[in-house]
Amino acid sequence: MVVATEEMAVYCFDTLVAHYGGDQPPPPAFEEGVHPLFVTWKKATNGSEPRLRGCIGTLEARQIVTGFKEYALTSALRDRRFPPIQSKELPYLECTVSILTEYETALNHLDWEVGKHGLIIEFTDPDYNMRRSATYLPEVAAHEGWTHLETIDSLMRKAGYNGTITEPLRKKIRVTRYQSTLYTMHYGEYAAYVKKNRGAAPEINGAPIVNGFKPGH
């Protein structure tokens, strides 16, 4: 089984840094594979709890090299919930790469474990007779401290359902559960990795990144 690795997180940082410089990232240092994947960016300032800055991926299997390259930028720049991440934010970022595995159809909306399973829910909105769906990665419910029902109800809202949530409606939900392996890297760890393995700190257009700004900018 393919697991998320340090090199995958490095490649996502490489991709974002290269984007700010109008360049291409160095070749990835991990093997190609075909898996569903997600890229999550969080930002921590002044020692605070990291806050979400973007999270986008795919529930369909795809080549992970092009997948991480695409979703590193999409999650950083085009998550509609947040403004695009700017280069000055780089030193405060952490990147989590997730490889999704073990897809299973749950018996019902409670047939999964908090902290172990991610969820994909699908259901018909009774008010508009339209299909709705949403997903949470395995770490979300545990991080939020949610129960099974709180997680399901939050997912229904995330899917765009604004009506009354009833137990009969919950029981009609189709739930697919999955697991993931993930790797989280802070920018400082990325910069140390680049310096150790490439002999110099990360740069944008040949200029070192100082508190996220290129000198003179």
Whether pLDDT at 13 is above 70 = yes
Q: Give domain status of residue 216, yes or no.
A: no
CA 199 – CA 183 distance, rounded (Å): 24
Whether pLDDT at 196 is above 50 = yes
DSSP state of 114: T
Over residues 114-126, the mean pLDDT reads: 97
CA 79 – CA 176 distance, rounded (Å): 24
Question: Is 116:138 a contact under the CB 8 Å cutoff?
Answer: yes
pTM over cut 0.85? yes
Q: Which residue range forms the structural domain that includes residue 132?
A: 110-172
Burial class of 205 by CB neighbour count within 10 A (0 to 12, 13 to 18, 19+): exposed
Count of positions (residues) in the chain: 217
Q: What is the pLDDT of residue 216?
A: 37
45 with 28, same domain? yes
82 with 36, same domain? yes
Question: Is 204:125 a contact under the CB 8 Å cutoff?
Answer: no
168 with 187, same domain? no
Q: How confident is the model at residue 201 (pLDDT cuts 50, 70, 90)?
A: confident
23 with 63, same domain? yes
CA 134 – CA 98 distance, rounded (Å): 17
175 residue type, one letter: V
Whether pLDDT at 151 is above 90 = yes
Q: What is the pLDDT of residue 210?
A: 66
93 with 155, same domain? no
134 with 204, same domain? no
88 with 135, same domain? no
Q: How confident is the model at residue 9 (pLDDT cuts 50, 70, 90)?
A: very high
92 with 17, same domain? yes
Q: What is the mean pLDDT of the chain?
A: 93
Describe the chain by its helix, strand, coil percentages, rounded to 5: 30, 30, 35
Q: What is the pLDDT of residue 217?
A: 36
